[in-house]
Copies of this chain bind each other. A is one copy, B any other.
Amino acid sequence: MSGSDQLSAVFSALADPTRRAILAELADRDATVTELTAPLPISMPAVSRHLKALERAGLISRTRSGKLRMSRIEAAPLREAAEWIERYRRFWDTSLTRLDAHLAAVQAAGRPTDRTAHGPAFPDRESPSKAHDKEN
């Protein structure tokens, strides 16, 4: 998992189909480890560790109720993830075609990259450790 930041932990958690299935289950209702394990093709310890990963990513919280341990979805971190991806919407959203065309023209003046469409509002520069000092 290279990056240990929040966003990396979230995307990393979502990268596993079992964990996505667990989240889907928890979106429906809070559940115990046993309940979550039942429909899955893996052992309970395995599920337990998936839950730990989800918890580490902040995607679930857990409370002890007697000898049961309930998991509850905490989707706040998904907001960050959604916002990150949202910055790239212009690359797939056709409703932005008109805008794209205009901005492509603007950008084309600067360089001959040309793809008939391409926005200008570039996403955040998220430098991984070393600074992004392009344009040098």
Residue of B at shortest CB range from A91? B75
Any B CB within 8 A of the CB of A125: yes
- Of residues 1 to 46 in A, which have CB atoms within 8 Å of B's CB atoms? 1-3, 5, 7-8, 11-12, 14-18, 20-21, 23-25, 27-30, 35, 38-41
Q: Is the CB of A39 within 8 A of B123?
A: no
A128 to chain B, nearest CB (A): 4
Query: How far, in angstroms, from A3 to B12 measured CA to CA in the complex?
Result: 12
Q: Is the CB of A39 within 8 A of B134?
A: yes
Query: How far, in angstroms, from A16 to B3 measured CA to CA in the complex?
Result: 6
- Of residues 65 to 121 in A, which have CB atoms within 8 Å of B's CB atoms? 72-76, 78-79, 81-82, 84-89, 91-93, 111, 113, 115, 119
A15-B12, A39-B132 given; A126·B76 CB < 8 A: no
Of the residues B16, B84, B92, B125, contact of A2 by C-beta under 8 Å: B16
Given contacts A11-B14, A23-B123, A76-B91, 11 further A-B contacts (CB under 8 A): A11-B12, A14-B85, A21-B126, A21-B127, A24-B126, A25-B134, A27-B88, A72-B115, A75-B88, A81-B85, A82-B85
